[in-house]
Structure formats: C-alpha cells, structure tokens
Amino acid sequence: MHLGGIPLRHELVLELARLVDDDALGSRLETAYGRMTKVLALTIPERESIIRALDDAPPGLEEPPCRATA
C-alpha cells in the first residue's frame, strides 16, 4: 500500500492504525487494510498524527536505511 505517497507493507497498516492517537484515522487505516486499498491519500493533520505515532517506531515501521546512488 502507498500511504500518503510512501510505500508501506500491507501488514504494517494495522500496526500503524493501533499506534496513531486519532480514532478516526485509525479506523480509516483499518478500513483501507480490509479493502486492500493500494493508495491512501492523507490530510496534513493525518500525516502529523502518523509522524507523532512513529516517534518510537516498532520494527518494520522505522525509516528504511538510505541507499547510496551511483
């Protein structure tokens, strides 16, 4: 799934839904997961909620390492 333009493994969407401190966003993420949504757009406040939730991200939701470009 692409969440706000960022690729995210589908199974991590439910984990993220549990972490956010916004019930409406959590429900929206769970619904998107259940419908196997491929792309989910986010509002600025939703993005901010996710960023706060990822302050101490569990495995799989942390920022991936940067790749060197040639």
Dig out the tokens for 16 from the structure. 């993220």
User: What pLDDT sits at residue 58?
Assistant: 67
* pLDDT value at 69 more than 70: no
Instruction: Note the pTM of the prediction, 2 decimals.
Output: 0.78
Q: Give the DSSP letter string of 24-55.
A: HHHHHHHHHHHTT-SEE---HHHHHHHHHHGG
Average pLDDT over residues 35-63: 84
pLDDT in tens, 5-45: 888 888 889 999 999 999 999 999 999 999 999 999 999 99
Neighbour-count burial of 4, counting CB atoms closer than 10 A to its CB (0-12 exposed, 13-18 middle, 19+ buried): middle
User: What pLDDT sits at residue 60?
Assistant: 63
User: What pLDDT sits at residue 9?
Assistant: 85
